[in-house]
Each structure stands twice: as structure tokens, then as C-alpha cells.
Amino acid sequence: MSSVEPILSQYFHNKGCRLGLPVAGNFELTPRCNFNCKMCYVHLSKEEADRRGRELTADEWLGFAEAARSKGLLFLLLTGGEPLIRPDFKYIYTELRKMGIMVSINTNASMIDDDYFEFFKKDPPMRFNISLYGTSDDTYESLCGNRSFEKVLNNIKRLKGAGMAVKLNVLFGPSNVDDMDGIRRISEETGIPIKPTTYLYPPIRVSCDETGGNKARFSAKEAAYYDFVCDKERFEHEMFVKRTAALCRGIKSEVSDEECDGVPSEGIACRAGRSSFWMTWDGKMMPCGMMVEPVTYPLRDGFDAAWKELRAKTEEILMPAECKNCSVRHACHVCAASTYAETGRFDGKPQYICDMVHERVRYYKDEYKRLEESGDLERYASEVKPNEN
């Protein structure tokens, strides 16, 4: 299934983009969490959440799910905060599964006790996306304010051992970069894939004052270096050589699983607001959970009207003009959410990301020279032809 599902998912998303169908959704069930991570984009205490609004009830969530399903919803991600913190999580999950929706779960895995384990064993989700923050209780305490590493690791192994699909999401920054090798070993030993990132969004959903920075992140140069290191370590040598050749020859070496066909180069390139939506804990609909606008209101207007309005507003978003003809655009994953988070505008040039990408390309060009001298480029990547466009 691991090799088939992405192909089917891409097919359905491309069709959704063309026909205006909400193929995938994200339900942010709560902003509350038992962790207090330095870099989180949404976490609020119960008191802060109560001041800002109210969490949707289970029946409200299920009503939106049924409305979305009738319009084409196939894939649904339950996220937070920490979604398992809700006392009614099992009820929400069970009812969603009865609808035939393919449900995945974002979790820090610290709240999966014996009861939850048996619950998921009987009816597993499509996938667990587990955030792994380090390889020791000390790292967890420093970054998350919670000494839960051993519990998290045991749960990761337990879920995998029971045959459930697991992916590890890893955010690297100064507080946990020394754990990079250890995290790679965990991935190798368990056979669980990791999705590493060294770019941390400014948490503008928590505070608009955070536009343009994240206190827990690397400098742009450091982020580029460790991104390069992550790539070198997570790919087999032959694949890494081919990726290096593609990037340095002007070819997009990795197509994001969030991209859709037929997108104008100056518009949003991903599925956000085109075949997918994000519902916040207090009932707002947005293209992406990293954004603060555009916003529509399904509680007031109904799901279908809110989705159509969101699609229309998403079509109006234009990316920075500088990005369109940038010499390293093929190596950059800049998006509408990141430009807004960095600059407060969708068309603002995100200097941090620009610096990071140019520096990353430099590391790859240096690697290209080494591979050329060693003969590995000719051995493994002779078929990778330069982009003539």
C-alpha cells in the first residue's frame, strides 16, 4: 500500500483541483496540548483558548465531515494541538471511520496508553504522523517542556510492531540538532520513514507579532546546511547522486506531495484551498493551517458555501514576482503560507527563505564537483539531462 497510495492520492487531488472538490481536509480538533513546544504554530493554553473562542463540539465536527464527504472528501487528517487530549476523540474518530473516510492522525504519541493502543489496534488509522523531537528526555524537556522521550519511543515501536502505518515528522533546530544522528538510527532500526525539516514557520497564528521569525529556528545558513545533511543521510547514495545532479542541472528533483497539476506559476502551487482545506479548532476554514487568511465561516454559511468562497479567494493569491523567474526556483519550496508568515504579505519576498535556498544550492554545487571528480555522476546520473527551459 505504501507505494500505491501516493499515486492514488495524487490522482484524486489532481481531479479535485480541476473539478473544485474538497478531496482532503484537516480537522484541528483543539489548540491544547500536553507539550509546550517552543516552535509551535498553534498551541494555546486552555485559558488562552477560552478567551479566543470555543472548540467545536464532536457533533459539529461530524456534521462538517458529512457535508464534506458528500462533496468529495476522501482523506482527513485529525490534528491539534494534541488531538488525543480531547475526551471525545474516540467518538469522533469512530464516527468518521463509519463514514468511510480515510483518517490519519497527527500526534506526539505521548498519550497512547494501553486503552488507546487496543482501540487503534481494532480500527487503525490510515497513518500515524508522529512528531519526534529528539532522542532523550533532556532534549524533550528543553524543547517541549515534557520529559516524554522514552514513552514516545516505546509507543512508536509498539504501533509499528502491531502493523500500523507510522511516519515520523522531525523539526530540527538549535535545541535538538545534536540528536540528528540518533533520530536517523531510530528510523533505520524501526524501518519507519522520517520527514525532516529545518525550516520553522513564524508562529503568526499564535501571535501576529511573530511575523518574520521563530525563536526556536536556525539562521538561514544553518538551516540550509542541516537540510543538505538530512538529504545526504536519508537517501541511498545512488539516489542522492541523482538528486544532486538534477538540482545542479536545473531540474526539480523532488515534487512535493502537496502539489497539483495545472497551477499558474504565479499562484499557489499546492493543494491548499484547491483540493484541500483546513478547519481550525474554533470553526474557521482556511486553505492551510499555517495561514491566517483567507478565512471563510462554515458555521455561519454552511460547508459548501464556505468551500466555494475559499476556492475563489485562494485563486486571487499571487506569489512574489521575484519568485517567478528566480534562478533557483526549481530548488525552492516557497509557498503562500511561508511568504505571508515571513513578510505579512503573500507577495512579499521572504528573505530568510531566499537566503536559505541559495545557500542550500551552494552546498549541492560543492557536492556536485566532488561527485564529478569521483566518477559517481557518470556512474549513477548520466541519464539526468540539464533542463533546457
Strand 194-197's sheet: what is its strand order?
194-197, 166-171, 127-131, 102-107, 75-79, 24-28, 276-279, 285-286
For the chain, 389 residues long, give each residue's pLDDT as a single digit of tens: 333 446 777 788 888 888 889 999 999 999 999 999 988 888 887 788 888 889 999 999 999 999 999 999 999 999 999 999 999 999 999 999 999 999 999 999 999 999 999 999 999 999 999 999 999 999 999 999 999 999 999 999 999 999 999 999 999 999 999 999 999 999 999 999 999 999 999 988 887 666 677 888 999 999 999 999 999 998 999 999 999 999 999 987 554 556 665 555 567 778 899 999 999 999 999 999 999 999 999 999 999 999 999 999 999 999 898 888 899 988 998 899 999 999 999 999 999 999 999 999 999 999 999 999 999 999 999 998 886 54
Q: Are residues 209 and 105 part of one domain?
A: yes
At 256 the pLDDT is 52
313 contact partners, CB below 8 Å, separation of at least 6: 273, 294, 296
Quote the number of domains for the chain.
2
Residues 312 and 183 in one domain: yes
Q: What is the pLDDT of residue 267?
A: 76
Q: Note whether residue 387 is domain-resident.
A: no
Domain end: 317, 333, 352, which one?
317
CATH number at residue 292: 3.20.20.70
SS3 content of the chain, % helix, strand, coil (to 5): 45, 10, 40
250 and 167, same structural domain?
no
Say yes or no: 40 and 95 in one domain.
Answer: yes
Predicted TM-score (pTM) of the model is 0.92
Same-domain status, 20 and 95 = yes
Is 210 in a helix, a strand, or coil?
Answer: helix
Name 171's bridge partners: 197
For position 4, what pLDDT does the model report?
A: 41
Q: How far is the C-alpha of 88 from the C-alpha of 14, rounded, in Å?
A: 34
**pLDDT value of position 189:** 95
Closest CA to 99 of 63, 52, 127: 63
Q: Are residues 120 and 186 in the same domain?
A: yes
What cell numbers appear for 52 in the block?
Answer: 479566543
Structural domain of residue 251, as residue ranges?
Answer: 219-267+319-374
